[in-house]
Each structure stands twice: as C-alpha cells, then as structure tokens.
Amino acid sequence: MTEDQARMFGMSTDDIREDYMESLTARLSGLEMVVAGLLSDSQELLNFNGDKAKDQIRKNLNVAKFILFEMLEAKREAETVLVNSDGKEIA
C-alpha cells in the first residue's frame, strides 16, 4: 500500500478490489449495492462528532468513488469497438 492509498482509502487498491469488489454483496447484488453500503455507512458516521469519524467518512467516499471509476472503466472497455485500418469493425 502506498502512502497515498493509505491516506485516501485507509487500504490498498488491491484490498478494495478484494474486500469490496469481490465480496459476497458484490457477487449477489452488484457493485452498485456495495457503493450504496459505503454511502450508508458514511451517513451513519455523520451522527458522530470528531476527527476520526470525519476521516472515515472521507475514506468511505473515496472507496466508493474508486469503485465507481472501476465500474466506468469496465463499461468503457466493454463498449470499445475494434476497427481495422479500413475503419471496418473487427469481431
């Protein structure tokens, strides 16, 4: 885990993929529900005062954004159409 990952997420991006994106919730309900869960956790933390709660909210939001960006990248890759030099689509 890099210092940036520790500061932004509190874990490595590999851990995010393993702990969240490959979780039972992700497999059964989809990554959208994983993101919803992170947002709900952050919402609950709003009831607490203090720097530790604020820091965890920030980290949860960063993890949620990371997952959303990974989903967007996967969608873009799935929609990419390969073409040959003549501009014709390749299977």
pLDDT tens-digit readout, 39-72? 999 999 999 999 999 999 999 999 999 999 999 9
Give the residue among 56, 66, 69, 64 at the shortest CA–CA distance from 35: 64
Tokens of 71: 């989903």
- Cβ atoms 9, 63 nearer than 8 A: yes
Domain boundaries, the chain: 3-79
What does pTM read for this prediction? 0.86
pLDDT tens-digit readout, 16-44? 999 999 999 999 999 999 999 999 999 99
Q: How many residues does the chain have?
A: 91
